[in-house]
A and B are shown apart, each in its own frame.
Chain A
Amino acid sequence: MTKPLQNIILGAFAIYALVPVYLVVLAAMRSEADLFSGPLTMPWPPNWQNFSRVWNESGFSVFFMNSVKISASVTALVVLCAPLAGFAFAKMKFRGREPLFVLFLAGLVVPAPSVIVALYGNLQEFGMIDTHLGVILPQAALLLPFSIFMMRTVMQDVPDELIEASTMDGATPFGTFIRVVLPVVRPGIMSLILIVFLISWQEYLLPLVVLQTEILKPITVGAASLQGRYGVDYGGIAAAGLIAFAPLAVLFLAMQRSFVRGLSAGAVK
């Protein structure tokens, strides 16, 4: 395979990756009247009104803050639970360790539509329907399998000597965990935070079903609902879609190394 051919391949897939993104940017700057005048025409001057309209009138400023709030809460909750559990699975011996780990792993495969109805009924009983809590708790729970798996992998790399030394100094297990282990696995936890935030931000079905009040909705639900029954507001939908994923793209670009390390934690073993 020659170098030029390689470059063509690299370039072709770069186009594949970026053209839809470019289209969204383009569409976000057009108005409804441009719908049938060719998909690649760029209106001049570019129309920023779609963004301001969607941000202010259609309430996307609120949806955005909701997404931030929900994803941040989910991430915080996962970080509170997963490292502890991952550490236990990696370094502690107890009865039922294997079966419990498998139990958690099984949750990796649960499809949302299967459990959503039972979950809805339960949330109704708890009074959590139409609250952010009703979205945060299940989301965090559903992300635990992946997170615990990743944390266990990361924790397995912590040298046993470190832990033993700390124990021999009289530290409690929890103390060892906080003072010795966590600093060592901090990069892994950073990765976990980024990945959980990414996945939580993209969640659609759960908030769609649980949240009823308009001002509680996150950005994925808001963007999809613009594609309502009547009306062809493609400029608005594009602007909304852009607002929906631009933060994630920026986050990824800024923290690329961390993301990658986290993602490969499971694969490269």
Chain B
Amino acid sequence: MNKFAMGAIVIASTVTAVHAETAVTQWDQFSQSGISAAGPAMDELITTCAPALDGASVLRTIAPSIGIRDSYRLAVSAGKTPDLAYTWPAASVLAGYARVGALAPLDGYYEQYGWDHINDFYRGRNSYEGALYAVPMEQDLMGVYYNKALFAEHGIDLPTTYAEFQAAAETFKSAGIVPVSFGNRGRWPATNTFSLILGLTAGKAAEEAVLFGDTPWTNDSFKLAAESFQAWANDGYFPRGFNGVGYDEANALFLSGNAAMTITGTWVLQDMIRGATDIDLGVFMLPPMKDGIEAGTMWGEGSQWQLSATASGETQDAAAAYLNCLLGDEAKQVWVQKANTVVIGTTPEELAEWGADPVVQEFFTAGLATSENNFYDLHTTLPESVTQVLYPELQLLIGGEATADEFLNKMQTAWELAIANGERWIP
């Protein structure tokens, strides 16, 4: 798309905006029906937040089936992005769009509306070279869902150390119950699990040394993490043929009482709660896996709101006002109550006050207790070209077809290529 065409489009859209009522086009992925349907909550909030828009309206489109990540990329290449999009991932991919000028910088709005509850960790993930380009809304973290009845039946207390976790897994294995349900056919679940293991084995500082510094992937603590993940697979913690089992199927296996635990995140809380009709659901945090590593968990913001650089000034202002409403206290309550989604800045007390589901409260209370120690979600942090290497290489690693060294070498090669190509995320 050359600059002339770009300019023409900007002029055209400005002219249209001036003559017509300001409409903010929004793309998101909240589905309208089905289990994890936060769509209705989104619609409700559009109506509630209408006054904040001061005359403008929000035209909502649920993302094309191809997935919002892919369709946003197409939209950027065709030079026609929606004014507002709630998409993922942040960090490197966001950086890519910012670098080519597809996104509008948002520092001004951050100041104007005082979105201070968005802490430095999240700001970092949503900025590029010092400027903010997206507004995160949800916060997601990882933990271990477990079947309370199965634990009680086998006399297992909640693990507080890694050794206890391993012992619990062994006990379940001998009893013929799948210790940890896991389905990696989609290739991304392993990236989440690995992110958690990495954080609890290498620690936040080691991650940052690689992500922002010069430390190579082939360092000792990363190697230990890779070996641990592979060991879990080797030792039979996962169901048979896990690289060919779907993510939802793995969750269904857990919810049907055939597996004792599953290690995933809060993004699937809705499904878990609604599906836990046969089991008694609980959550605990995975303990650190190496001595000297502090407790913590993997955090991410799921998706973030991005503003198109081609949107007119009026549209951008309207969108920002709308976003401010979506992050407000009233909206936060709707998110929690109607969509089991927890906005950044929500406190455990508020969750209790608003009658959030006990599991939701359990999860976030445990997670927020260690909020200083957030590990990175590799899946939404790495440059896309590196993610595309991580997917298959992780499958090979835990499938037992690659050693930890081979895995890390492949990752390092891809990483160096990405850096040389300027794809690195610099917050």
Contact = CB atoms under 8 A, between A and B. Distances in A.
Contact of B36 (A217, A221, A230): A230
A231 B248 contact: yes
Contacts of B62: 214
Contacts of B65: 208, 211, 217, 221, 224-225
A36 B271 contact: no
B63 A35 contact: no
Interface string A156-170: 000000000000000
Interface string B234-275: 000000000000111101110010100000000010110000
Contacts of B61: 212-213
Contacts of B100: none
Contacts, number: 71
Interface in A183-220: 208-209, 211-214, 217
Contact of A209 (B64, B253, B256): B64
B71 A124 contact: no
A137 to B, nearest CB: 17
Interface in A104-150: 117, 120-121, 124-125, 129
Contact of A231 (B32, B34, B66, B79): B34
A124 B78 contact: yes
Given A231-B248, A232-B249, A208 B64 contact: yes
A228 B34 contact: yes
A232 B80 contact: no
A58 interface: yes
A32 B251 CA distance: 12
A231 B36 contact: yes
B77 interface: yes
A228 B186 CA distance: 11
A203 to B, nearest CB: 13
A83 B123 CA distance: 61
B190 to A, nearest CB: 15
A36 B256 contact: yes
A224 B31 CA distance: 15
A7 to B, nearest CB: 35
A117 B74 contact: yes
A229 B37 CA distance: 12
A232 B248 contact: yes
A211 B33 CA distance: 19
Interface string B58-72: 000111111000010
B149 interface: no
Nearest to A123: B78
A57 B33 contact: yes
Contacts of A58: 33-34
Interface in B47-100: 61-66, 71, 74, 77-80
A27 B249 CA distance: 15
A232 B252 contact: yes
B77 A121 contact: yes
A232 B245 CA distance: 12
Contacts of A221: 65
Contacts of A214: 32, 62
Given A36-B256, A208-B66, A212-B61, A231 B33 contact: no
A129 B36 CA distance: 28
Query: In the complex, which of the residues A117, A209, A230 has the most CB atoms of chain B within 10 Å of its own CB atom?
Result: A230
A213 B64 CA distance: 7
Contacts of A57: 33
Contacts of B253: 36
A32 B252 contact: yes
Contacts of A120: 74, 77-78
Contacts of A125: 78
A89 B65 CA distance: 40
A49 B410 CA distance: 49
A70 B317 CA distance: 40
A209 B74 contact: yes
Q: Point out which of A36, A57, A229 has the most chain B C-beta atoms below 10 A from its C-beta.
A: A229
B34 A117 contact: no
B352 interface: no
B419 interface: no
B247 to A, nearest CB: 7
A232 B34 contact: no
A189 to B, nearest CB: 34
Q: Which of A35, A36, A125, A212 has the most CB of B within 10 A?
A: A212
Nearest to B270: A230
Interface in B304-358: none
B327 to A, nearest CB: 24
B71 A35 contact: no
B308 to A, nearest CB: 14
A129 B66 CA distance: 14
A79 B106 CA distance: 53
A231 B77 CA distance: 32
Nearest to B1: A121
Contact of A232 (B32, B77, B79, B251): B251
A217 B35 CA distance: 21
Contact of B63 (A121, A129, A212, A231): A212
Of A35, A117, A232, chain B has the most CB atoms within 10 Å of the CB of A232
Contact of A230 (B33, B35, B71, B78): B35
Given A36-B258, A208-B64, A233-B34, 5 more contacts: A32-B252, A57-B33, A120-B74, A230-B268, A230-B271
15 contacts: A121-B1, A121-B77, A124-B78, A124-B79, A129-B80, A208-B65, A209-B74, A228-B248, A229-B36, A230-B35, A230-B268, A230-B271, A231-B36, A231-B248, A232-B252
> Across chains A and B, which 4 residue pairs bring their CB atoms closest together, nearest first?
A124-B78, A231-B35, A212-B64, A225-B65
